[in-house]
Structure 1
Amino acid sequence: MILKVISAYDILFQGEVDKVTLPGAEGTFMVLPHHASLISTLVKGEVAYEADGRQGAIEVAGGIVDVDNDVVSVCIY
């Protein structure tokens, strides 16, 4: 699946990942390949991802996420 993390100023990450963990307003949740479509707000925390056994994370102050057709689009502020 593809993860895109963007701000108003830059693309912070774009690439193929195996899973993504997001700080949702109702609690942390994980997105795996073939996840159902959803839109959620994000709170301060960490967008963590795993790709080919390697892990990465991006600190966020909040934002929104859209999951659709194996594309996870995260817009942060």
Structure 2
Amino acid sequence: MLLEIISPEKKIFQGEAKSVVVPAVDGSLGILDNHAPLISTLKKGIVEVSGADKNTFEINGGVVEVMKNKVIILAE
């Protein structure tokens, strides 16, 4: 799936991911290929991205949207 992490200043990450774990307001949310469409608010925490490499990104909150194997994180 395609993942984009965007902050108000710049695009932080864009690339393919096998799985993404985000700090949703109600707890951690794992996203895999063919995930059902969703929109959720995020709290301060770590976004974990697994793909060719494992990456982590610290965010101060934001919103995640999942649709048609594309994940967009609008991070603060």
Shared fold, TM over 0.5: yes
More strand by share: 2
Per-residue deviation at 1:68?
0.2
What's the secondary structure of 1:49's corresponding residue?
A: strand
Per-residue deviation at 1:29?
1.0
Task: Give the alignment's TM-score, normalised by structure 2.
Answer: 0.98
Q: Which runs of 5+ in 1 are unaligned?
A: none
Q: For residue 74 of structure 2, what is the aligned residue in structure 1?
A: 75
Off by >4 Å, runs of 4+ in structure 1: none
Alpha carbon RMSD of aligned pairs, Å? 0.5
Distance in 2 (alpha carbons) for counterparts of 1:31 and 1:76: 17
Q: Which runs of 5+ in 2 are unaligned?
A: none
Number of equivalent positions: 76
Q: Deviations over 1:4-32 (max 9, x none)?
A: 00011100000001000000000001000
Q: For residue 63 of structure 1, what is the aligned residue in structure 2?
A: 62
